[in-house]
A and B are shown apart, each in its own frame.
Chain A
Amino acid sequence: MKGKFCETPEEALDGLLVPGMTIMSGGFGLVGNPETLIDAIARDGVSRLTIISNNCGATGFGLWRLLANSQIERMISSYIGDNALFEQRVLDGALALELNPQGTLAERIRAGGAGIPAFYTRTGVGTVVAEGKPHEEIDGVTYVRERWLRADLAIIKACRADPEGNLVFRKTARNFNPDMATAARITVVEAEELVPAGALDPDHIHTPGIFVDRIVKATINERRVENRTTRAREAVA
């Protein structure tokens, strides 16, 4: 069952962490975050990181810990939300932030993985995000050119992985994970469940193993809920 499976997060990240590197980290809000690998990167202490991720965790959780550790020099994100430390570091000038529209961020990553160096989009035309970028009129509409994003390392959270690196994600924990898995030189996955070859239906695989280099079992699965919203059960008549 060995294949791409590693025993520990340290083994999965061995030789990969270098100061000044660029890391893509999957997740949307607190859902689908590679919590085990982020923890290993926090313990390693590697610094001057550029992190590409939609958000930057939340107090005490996920990428927030790398921020609190002063390991991050630059963020490429779409949303800050209620992450007070993130907002403060940006306002203080201690953290460089490149803010992207979320769809542009996702497509830049997809393009990076697909070998497409740039693409045109209407998103952001006439706003600050398009300033200084080339524009082109195509079929009578003005578009802005956006460049691809690639990284040295992608850290990914999956639900299930087999030794080949085939991945299945769960519900909205999929989000940026499959896109990021394609766009880095090395992709390291943590999965809640490691399964033997043949256990995944080939028709139901979300990320084919070619995009995955190393896999480790996710041992930190806090899966914190950011905004617990429920409805009352209807009274039984």
Chain B
Amino acid sequence: MSRGWDRDAMAARAARELRDGDYVNLGIGIPTLVANHIPAGMRVTLQSENGMLGMGPFPYDDEVDPDLVNAGKQTITALPSSSFFSSSASFAMIRGGHIDLAILGAMEVSADGDIANWSVPGKMMKGIGGAMDLVSGVRRVVAVMDHVGKSGQPKLVARCSLPLTGRNVVDIVITNLGVFACGKRGEGMRLVECAPGVSIAELRETTAAPFLEAVS
């Protein structure tokens, strides 16, 4: 087995955070793949912040409807249980704590649960979108990202250097190398699980924040 998790395996690991009956918001990228790993028989309802509950699978080619997209602007389908609503109603669900779980991508996460995922000053500015509302309003927040950046820099850090999306909001971080629980109340970050073939020594080397080794 190759070392660590690939994108699909990260999504599968993130799917293990789902609970029966959850209302869930999935972000763009790897989080979108989580929908492919919902265990059979588990009832999970996907919310899309542009105004839909009960997202179905991507359409067949002849089913594409330009008026039916997810928050990543991908064409999708509705289910018999689906509902549509306005943007303000959608964010009332999110801000009001009615969504159980958000899984979203990140550029940096800190040991105490800060997250940065919307801007690299001077280089990239795609905008904020729904990310700030999601991290501050959803009950449980899971961040999914590569463990280190393209130039090898740690992305799991003691303090984020990029503009923040939220402070003390992330519960769980899933990287290609392992799973960590953030200490949102300053109790310290904890290693939950190593990805296959990854040693704790290697995680220490590639993580720019201390963590506890409470591996069960």
Contact = CB atoms under 8 A, between A and B. Distances in A.
Given A176-B86, A229-B74, A229-B75, A124 B91 contact: no
Contact of A172 (B68, B114, B164): B68
Contact of B51 (A172, A228, A231, A232): A172
A170 interface: yes
Interface of A: 28-32, 54, 77-82, 87, 90-91, 99-107, 109-110, 121-129, 169-179, 206, 223-233
Given A29-B73, A121-B95, A103 B130 contact: yes
B176 interface: no
27 contacts: A28-B50, A31-B66, A31-B69, A31-B73, A78-B128, A79-B128, A80-B125, A81-B73, A103-B87, A103-B95, A103-B130, A106-B87, A107-B91, A123-B95, A125-B136, A126-B114, A126-B166, A171-B84, A172-B51, A172-B52, A172-B70, A174-B84, A177-B86, A179-B87, A230-B58, A230-B60, A230-B75
Given A102-B91, A110-B88, A227 B69 contact: yes
B42 interface: no
Q: Which of A29, A105, A172 lies at the interface centre, i.e. has the most chain B CB atoms within 10 A of its CB?
A: A172
A169 B86 CA distance: 10
Contacts of A30: 66, 73
A32 B67 CA distance: 7
A169 to B, nearest CB: 8
Interface string B131-153: 11100110000000000000000
Contacts of B76: 229
B163 to A, nearest CB: 6
Contacts, number: 174
Contact of A227 (B51, B61, B68, B72): B72
A127 B136 CA distance: 11
B17 interface: no
Interface in B22-72: 48-52, 57-61, 63-70, 72
Interface in B67-100: 67-70, 72-76, 78, 84-88, 90-91, 94-95
Nearest to B95: A103
A227 B49 CA distance: 17
B196 interface: no
B197 interface: no
A176 B84 CA distance: 12
B127 interface: yes
A123 B130 CA distance: 10
A176 B91 CA distance: 11
B67 A31 contact: yes
B126 interface: yes
A126 B137 CA distance: 14
B133 A101 contact: yes
Given A80-B126, A102-B49, A174-B86, A123 B136 contact: yes
Given A171-B84, A230-B75, A124 B67 contact: no
B165 interface: yes
B73 A226 contact: yes
A127 B164 contact: yes
Q: Which of B49, B91, B94 lies at the interface centre, i.e. has the most chain A CB atoms within 10 A of its CB?
A: B91
A77 B125 CA distance: 13
A121 B166 CA distance: 13
A110 B49 CA distance: 16
A226 B71 CA distance: 11
Contacts of B74: 227-229
A54 B69 CA distance: 15
A82 B50 CA distance: 17
A63 B50 CA distance: 18
Contacts of A103: 49, 87, 90-91, 94-95, 130, 132-133, 137
Contacts of A175: 50-51, 86-87
Nearest to B127: A79
Contacts of B87: 28, 54, 102-103, 105-106, 175-176, 179
B129 interface: yes
Contacts of A78: 127-130
